[in-house]
Amino acid sequence: MSERLAALREQIDALDTQMLALLNERARCAEEVAHTKLAEDPNAKFYRPEREAQILTRMQALNAGPLRNEQITHLFREIIASCLALEESMRIAYLGPAGTFTQEATFKHFGMNVGTLPVDSIAQVFREVEAGRVRYGVVPIENSTEGVITHTLDMFTQSDLRICGEISLRIHQNLMCRHENWQGVQKVYAHAQSLAQCRYWLDKHLPHAERIPVSSNAEAARLVANDDEAAALGSRQAAPIYGLQIVQDSIEDNANNTTRFLVIGDQMVGASGNDRTSLLVSTRNRPGSLYHLLKPLAENGVDMTRIESRPSRTTNWEYFFFLDVRGHEQDKAIHDALEKLRQDAEIVRVLGSYPIAIM
């Protein structure tokens, strides 16, 4: 080994020693935070999404490189998750099975070592949280190319759970096989959405392979585990679970393909300074009802970023409206707009105020 290399490694060893001490000092602080919270309130919540968002935003602002903000965010998320695990060991239910993008989103947000419970429907995620068998749940809510996941919206009309956070995940599709010789595959299994997201890549590179839609990408990987002539598309997490190799990565046609997920729980989240509030509103069916619903928001200068309507299911031609606005329900503008709205609408429910997803 050259003297230069030996000296650099010595420097790295010294820095690692410092980081180790600092990490444990931080962990002891988090343990102290837990004791303090409990002393102040026996029902205190340990997971504080607003505080986590503030920490990550601050680190990004301070970051001078060469590590990219994305890497810094990932590292600090893992550090915070490890500290949170010292405060409380918790389990997260997600729309499974293992190896799906929802699992990837769960690990991204709660750290790679969090306990998880994969379940087989969005409704079941809600039920697990409602029954207290898990602390939080993670469900998909919208994809940038495929649109809103109406099943998740509908669940909020039947559940009192709140939205505690959101996770934004860049969807990278991977081609996975049992062996490296992917050019010879005859079949490509995947969820229909994943097949659609890789249509041009498949046209170009595997034009003769049959595309077979299945219930989830994890199911696709499971089928390919027993088939030398097939490939699966999906999240990189699926490969080791089903003994597959990633033979081509990031093959999605649209590089900006993103899915948004919600963290659901029974917790009110404080303001982080960069928040979103989701509302469920219903009005009597009369002329101008949508106008009356939106007027208080506009008059108070509340920035509405989305509106979705869903049939009420109990009365024909009556609708629930799902609205997203920028800001926190405690902000004066939103608070005042909600007061006004409540005078007019049948139902006005705040589904949650939560930090806007960070990277």
Piece in contact with ligand PRE (CB under 6 A), picked from 45-53, 127-135, 204-212, 243-251: 45-53
**218 counts as binding ligand PRE under rule CB under 6 A:** no
167 touching ligand PRE, by CB under 6 A: no
**Rounded Cα gap, residues 143 and 194, in angstroms:** 11
Which of 56, 73, 77, 80 is close enough to bind ligand PRE by CB under 6 A? 80
Please identify, using beta-carbon distances, which residue of 43 and 316 lies nearer to ligand PRE. Answer: 43
Q: Using CB under 6 A, which of 51, 170, 211, 236 touches ligand PRE?
A: 51
User: Nearest distance from residue 61's CB to ligand PRE, in Å?
Assistant: 16
Q: Which alpha helices (DSSP H) does the chain contain, by range?
A: 3-40, 49-62, 69-87, 101-110, 122-130, 150-155, 192-197, 199-205, 217-224, 238-241, 289-299, 332-344
Q: Residues touching ligand PRE: how many (CB under 6 A)?
A: 12
Options 77-85, 248-256, 263-271, 279-287: segment touching ligand PRE (CB under 6 A): 77-85
Structural element, H or E, at residue 281? strand 275-282
Instruction: Please report whether residue 78 would count as binding ligand PRE according to CB under 6 A.
Output: no
Q: What's the rounded Cα separation, in Å, for the pair 247 and 345?
A: 54
Of the listed pieces 49-57, 97-105, 329-337, 351-359, which binds ligand PRE according to CB under 6 A?
49-57
Q: Is 294 in the site for ligand PRE (CB under 6 A)?
A: no
DSSP-assigned letters across all residues of 154-181 = HHTTT---EEEEEEEEE---EEEESSS-
The reply on whether position 276 binds ligand PRE by CB under 6 A is no
**CB nearer to ligand PRE: pick between 51 and 292:** 51
Residue type at 8 in one-letter notation? L
Residue 47 near ligand PRE by CB under 6 A: yes
With CB under 6 A as the contact rule, which of the stretches 17-25, 42-50, 159-167, 307-315 interacts with ligand PRE? 42-50
Please tell me the number of Cα atoms within 13 Å of 202 on its side-chain side: 24
Q: Which stretch binds ligand PRE (CB under 6 A): 41-49, 229-237, 266-274, 334-342?
A: 41-49
Contact flag: residue 77 with ligand PRE (CB under 6 A):
no
Closest approach of Cβ 135 to ligand PRE, in Å? 12
Other beta carbons within 10 Å of 105 = 27
Among 338, 347, 349, smallest CA distance to 302 is for 338
Site of tokens 């293992």 = 98
Interatomic CA distance for residues 264 and 116, integer angstroms: 14
How far is it, in rounded angstroms, from Cα 335 to Cα 327? 10
Does 33 help bind ligand PRE (rule: CB under 6 A)?
A: yes
Q: Decide: is 48 part of the binding site for ligand PRE (CB under 6 A).
A: yes
Tokens 């996941």 correspond to what residue? Answer: 149
Closest CA to 267 of 49, 80, 78: 49
Tell me how far apart the alpha carbons of residues 107 and 195 are, in angstroms, rounded to a whole number.
24
For the CB of residue 82, give the shortest distance to ligand PRE in the complex, in Å.
8
90 binds ligand PRE (CB under 6 A): no
30 or 307, CB closer to ligand PRE?
Answer: 30
**Which residue, judged by CB position, is nearest to ligand PRE in the bound state?**
83
Coil, helix or strand at residue 147: strand
Element housing 288 (H / E): none
Decide: is 46 part of the binding site for ligand PRE (CB under 6 A): yes
Question: Is position 87 an interface residue for ligand PRE (rule: CB under 6 A)?
Answer: yes
92 belongs to the binding site for ligand PRE (CB under 6 A) = no
Residue ranges in contact with ligand PRE by CB under 6 A: 30, 33, 46-48, 51-52, 55, 80, 83-84, 87
